Every structure is written in C-alpha cells, then in structure tokens.
Structure 1
C-alpha cells in the first residue's frame, strides 16, 4: 500500500539545491563610494530642491536644514572606524562614576 510514497524531501522547480552568493569586489565598493560622495555634493549644491516646492518658506528652510544636519551626521559617522568608535565608547565609560555599577550583594556577612 505504501510503495508509491516518496521518501526524499520535495524540490522546487529550477532549484539546484545550492545557494550561490554574489562575490563583492573592491572595485565595486570604490565605485559605490565615489558615486555616493558625488551625490552628496550634488545634493548640497542644490539649495532649493523641487521636492520642497509645495511647502511654505519656513517649512522649506526647516527641511533643508534637517537634511543638511542628517548628511553631516552620516558623514561624521562614516569617517570613523569601528575601532575608533569602540575606543571612544570605552573612554566614555571610564569617565562615568561608579554610582551606576551594580553593587555586590553578599548574604554570608
């Protein structure tokens, strides 16, 4: 009765069973960084962008300043390495008082 039952897992059509990952090339990363920097420069040069045409002058100015601050934060964050950020974080922790440390609790004394 059970001779026609499949004993192996089902396969999808066109599935070879292996997942191929695309290799990342250093050339592509350099090109991407260069394109990103060019787009940042273009955005900063355009003072009145068309996406803010329907806003009041005060709202437009606020949005433009907000975008500028966000780009400054992104560039500042991208300029530091992970190692620098970790060292800065550790310096910050060292400067804190021990008031925030968890006190030892001993029930034997």
Structure 2
C-alpha cells in the first residue's frame, strides 16, 4: 500500500464558488394581497381614523421624562442668553477671549536677515 492511495482526485472546491448559480428570491404575492385587502377595508370605513387622533402611550420612564424637561429648560435658557446680547457685544467678548488665550500656538517672528 503506497502513501498516495488516499489522495482525493479532481478539482478543488472553493467555498464561495459553486456550480449552482445564485437565484433571485421570488416575491410573495400573499403579502401584496393582504395589503390590498387591508387598504380596501380602510377605504370602506371612511372617517374613522380622522375622527379620533392616534394617541400613543407614553412609555418613557420617570428619569427620561425628567431629562427631557431639563433639556428643554436649558435650551430655552440658552436661547434667552443669546437673544439678549447684540452682535457687537458678542464680538467684543470673543476678542477678549482671544486676548486671554496663551501664546503657545502663536508663530514666532523669524528674521531672514541678521
């Protein structure tokens, strides 16, 4: 018995390459028919959805509600602060801020001639 008796013969089969072609999925007509029936039933009962507005149940927790309230309050306060300053006042404040910054990132003067 030789060492070559257990050798597989033939071409190697790769995982992604196969003899079968990729087929498109067929559309399900049942879902389309159900949707049409549902739309027709809505059309037959006019005005029911218009008379009663859809109300969603509030599923938020107490913490989420409190967070939303604080967020809205903070936004309103920021809007009021921005509305009280004029453009000129904002420019003056910005220039003061730039003056107070360190000069670490300033470009040093370089002389070409000595």
When the two structures are superposed, what TM-score results if normalisation uses the length of structure 2? 0.45
Q: Which protein shows a greater Rg? A: 2
1 or 2, which has the higher helix percentage?
1
